Amino acid sequence: MTPVAIESPPTTDPNPGARPSGVSDPAAAAQSIQLMFDAIAPRYDLLNHLLSAGIDRLWWRRTARAVRPILARPDAVVLDLCCGTGDMTLALDHLRPQPLLTTDPLPLTPVSPILAVDFSRNMLSLAQPKFACRNIRAIEADALHLPFADASIDLVTCAFGFRNLASYPEGLAELYRVLRPTGQIAILDFNQPTGLMGALYSLYFKGILPLLGRLISRDPRAYTYLPESVARFPRPPRMMELIAAAGFTAPTWTPYTFGVAGLYRAMKH
């Protein structure tokens, strides 16, 4: 589907960022979300695949294919932000050149490892076995304070994690800081579609999903927070305004599965 572009002037939102129920302070919001993801980590993969009917795997692969030209470059430095248990990271790695094990004395072009970053230690501990024998480096870090030098990254991907940042403008500013000129962002996240699909989506997300999530995860907060976080997350026009305001050029949004999710892309000058 053709990406959607935007040229409208920016608007202002109060406190654009994730806010779990009962939390108004950005620092407290970040801590609450971190603790929540640590708690649901053991059942996170099961819940994701079950509640999305397996469509999440298609979204990850489609996102990876969208940035394939960058992934194909051995020297490209790729950062998968909010990597969780690593499924998006693996989709990226499948399209990376693989380091060769050889006794050939001729030097080989080194392949930069994918940097898989998350602030949930429990999530990363579940990702580590998946990363075994792969050219992936797991790093525990805060998305708003990344441990990377200015202009050191070629591509930042983020699948269903950007929505959980305590400040979307600060998150975008941090991505802009670490990207090299002509570097790109690819942010995959949920959306609220309109029309009949929107009505069905709302029924599922606000009624069925929290109930199933509570039963399986045994954490009543997590899957009450999920529909709330999607409802709070900016719609595509507003999100693209925020991306442009951070300095990125030509932001676009490509809807996936009738607009239930979508991919935001943009480039740094």
For the chain, the structural domain boundaries read 28-97+110-267
CB 16, CB 162: distance < 8 Å: no
**Confidence (pTM):** 0.90
Query: Which among 147, 144, 137, 138 has a CA at the least distance from the CA of 161?
Result: 144
Query: Which among 245, 269, 243, 166 has a CA at the least distance from the CA of 4?
Result: 243
Task: Give me the residue label for tokens 């954490």.
Answer: 219
CB 165, CB 17: distance < 8 Å: yes
Position 106 scores a pLDDT of: 52
Position 6 scores a pLDDT of: 40
Position 14 scores a pLDDT of: 65
**DSSP-H helix ranges across 67-190:** 68-71, 87-93, 121-131, 168-178
Q: Which two tokens stand for residue 247?
A: 């300095």
Q: Which two tokens stand for residue 56?
A: 């999440």
CB 218, CB 52: distance < 8 Å: no
Fold of 28-97+110-267: Rossmann fold (3.40.50)
Cα gap 70→78, rounded to integer Å: 8
Per-residue pLDDT of the chain (269 residues; tens, 9 = 90+): 556 544 333 445 667 999 998 888 999 999 999 999 998 898 888 877 776 778 999 999 999 999 999 999 999 999 999 999 999 999 999 999 986 654 555 556 789 999 999 999 999 999 999 999 999 999 999 999 999 999 999 999 999 999 999 999 999 999 999 999 999 999 999 998 888 888 888 888 778 877 777 777 677 677 778 888 888 999 999 999 999 999 999 999 999 999 999 999 999 98
Position 43 scores a pLDDT of: 84
Position 7 scores a pLDDT of: 38
